[in-house]
Structure 1
Amino acid sequence: MLKAEQTHLASPCRLCCSPCPADRQDLSHTRNKMAPPVYADLGKSARDVFGKGYHFGLLKLECKSKTSTGVEITAGGSNALESGKVAGNLETKYKVKEHGLTFTEKWNTDNTLNTEVALEDKVAKGLKLVLNTTFAPQTGKKSGVLKSTYKTDALSVNLDSTLDLGGPVVNGAGVASYKNWLVGYQMSFDTAKSKLTKNNFVVGFTNPDFILHTYANDGAEFGGSLFHKINPELEGAVDLAWAAGSNTTRFSIGCKYSLDKDAAVRAKVNNSSQIGLGYQQKVRDGITLTLSTLIDGKNFNQGGHKVGLAMELEA
């Protein structure tokens, strides 16, 4: 009888809903901590509120497709309503996942060819190397940039250099994170002139629905942005900047509201009394239509307001 009781007591948690403490596994070491964003992506959530969904003064068309072999093709064009200038571009991208390679080729109506080769997570985990070259056949002008990005759980580092035998320009940036805080630094050094041409600092705070970004550029421009996801449908952002040289202040506030999963409205206004409005509608799978307008509040009755229309096709 005692043996039977001991047998029962040895495995009670296999018959109940709660796991036995002895059988629990500590999985905390398997949780992947996100690396901090690279310097160029700091404040991106707020910039998207002010930038995405607006095409003032343009008629724009963009088409995306993917072949059976995995080649991604993007073709687009735009017409500037005021000047009548037409611009077009074509981009192809192919990924060789087993080797961590991505090949990207771009062409635009300015007759500029751009080729990019990226290698990621093969030389070292978290390391991405990119070679970007540009060639203009009409003028014969060539340029190249070698880029590198390294990410760990608490640090993201960028180091870029132009391929110029006369004296490359070296750009570097780093962002470190501690809990919800971010600290970053960006510099640019012209080796031909032996001069530091960029000296920027940033401090930020982030959590899932609130992002604060403040910066100081070259000791002459100071500012920051605030992004808040108020609820699943509504996003808001504030942008503020002050330039010491001209003693001018820039202030903007914007928001995006999702009417449903296929439609969204956007609005923004700045201290120059410029009011931007946008409406985006997913007509059907693969077809998205965007209407936008920029209203000059100071000269409302004189006209000169801008409108924009964009259509995105994806197959």
Structure 2
Amino acid sequence: MTSLPQPVPPSWKDLGKSSTDLLQKDYQILGNSLEVKTKTPTGVTFKVAGSQPSNSSVVTGDVEAKFVNKKQGLTFTGTWTTANVLKAQAEVENQIANGLKVDLLTTLSPAKGNAKTLVINGAYKQSGIHSRAALDVLKGPTFTADTVFGRDGFLVGAEAAYNVTEGRISRYQLAAGFSAPEYAVTLHALNDLKAFSASYYHRVSKDVEAGAKAIYDPKFNGAVSIEVGTKTYLDSAAFVKAKINNSGVLGLGYTQSLRPGIKASFGVAVDTQKLNEVDPSGAAHKVGLSLVFEA
């Protein structure tokens, strides 16, 4: 009996992504942001993004241009930020070998005339395996590698970082989980197996999703942080999200597609333990708005 081909598992950074997205995305609570995306007939995508934190009057942003040549498997992305930092990334996929992607990421500071970062990345994807490697040339140098194996929904992964100059492993982490179309469970052992997290995601129905995450880190007095949340689709163009953690912070989010290519998101975070307190700094309660235009 021949076993069925296994799908490509998620990468290390995407283990537990369904619950992370449910609890973190679409909560516009840190201020206001605006994003505009356009695409030329030649395949060049431009994105202009800006944001203003709720506790600051400074507006930060960046301009990004991305060119994709699918025939050659080449992607080039250039970004210029309001901090006068230039970022460039060149990616080549499925050209050297099937399933292999290599990219070079560099960050430059024109004012200082030097490179801030220079990272070489590689990723290899095949049936049942997803491996990545990165060499940070200017920091360490540090070599990082991770691999995730998947079979019949079961996932096992590991990540390690090696400091080339010092000749030692500077970090190692493990993860295991199970992923199905309607639910997923992921366990992480992080920071040299000293901190632990567990996440759960469940698609209750086509209109309702639920999830939870618990984190134990000895750095925070050995306390366990717990957060639960849900997402409900009101219709094909709108959904609401709600979450609360064991510190009593309640988060609410509402996202509405105003028309094709225009999306608005509203968010609020309320510290339920400080409802009767006046907080001039605004640290207890946060609100925000995000607008995205895409043509």
* Secondary structure of the structure 2 residue equivalent to 1:301: coil
Please give the residue correspondences for 1:113-192 in structure 2 after superposition, counting only pairs within 5 Å: 113-142=86-115, 143-164=117-138, 167-192=140-165
Aligned to 1:4: none
Out of 258, 262, 269, the position equivalent to 2:233 is 258
The one of 10, 23, 36 equivalent to 2:9 is 36
Cα displacement (A) at 1:149: 0.2
Structure 1 segments (4+ residues) deviating >3 Å: none
Please state how far the C-alpha of 1:33 moved relative to its aligned partner.
4.2
Q: Tell me the residue number matched to 1:233.
A: 207
**Partner AA of 1:177 in structure 2:** G
Partner of 2:270: 295
User: Cα offset for 1:150?
Assistant: 0.3
Amino acid of the residue matched to residue 283 of structure 1? L
Aligned to 1:20: none
Higher relative contact order (CA 8 A, sep 6+): 2
| Aligned residue number for residue 197 of structure 1 | 170
* Deviations 1:66-114, CA, capped at 9 Å, x for gaps: 0111101111101112121210111111111111100011111111111
Aligned-pair CA distance for 1:32 = 6.5
**2:33–2:49 CA contact under 8 A, matched in 1:** yes
Q: Structure 1: which amino acid aligns with 2:289? A: L
3-state SS in 1 of match to 2:22: helix
Q: Which runs of 5+ in 2 are unaligned?
A: none
Partner of 2:187: 214
Alpha-carbon distance in 2 for matches of 1:187, 1:200: 6
Helix, strand or coil at the partner of 1:302: coil
CA distance in 2, matches of 1:150, 1:141: 31
Residue 59 of structure 1 pairs with residue 32 of structure 2:
yes
The code of the aligned residue for 2:287 comes to V
Aligned equivalents of 2:6, 2:25: Cα separation in 1: 28
Alpha-carbon distance in 2 for matches of 1:312, 1:230: 29
Question: Which amino acid in structure 2 is aligned with residue 301 of structure 1?
Answer: N
SS at structure 1 position matched to 2:275: helix
Query: Are 2:174 and 2:193, in contact at CA under 8 Å, matched by a contact in 1?
Result: no
Counterpart-to-counterpart distance in 2, 1:141 and 1:230: 51
> Shift of residue 51 of structure 1?
1.3
In structure 2, the residue matched to 1:24 is none
1:198, distance to aligned residue in structure 2 (A): 1.1
Identical counterparts, % of pairs:
32
Question: Residues of 2 paired with 1:73 and 1:132: CA distance?
Answer: 19
Displacement of 1:34 after TM fit?
Answer: 2.2
- The normalised TM-score by structure 1 is 0.88
Is 1:46 paired with 2:19?
A: yes
- State the shift of 1:167 in Å: 4.6
Asked if the contact 2:6–2:150 (Cα under 8 Å) also holds between the matched residues in 1, the reply is no
Unaligned runs of 5+ in 1: 1-27
Bigger fraction of residues in helix: 1
Give 1:55 shift: 1.7
Aligned to 1:104: 77
Partner amino acid for 1:153?
A: S
Partner of 1:276: 251
Shift of 1:140: 2.2
Q: Which amino acid aligns with 2:133?
A: L
| TM-score normalised over the length of structure 2 | 0.94
Which of structures 1 and 2 has the bigger CA Rg? 1
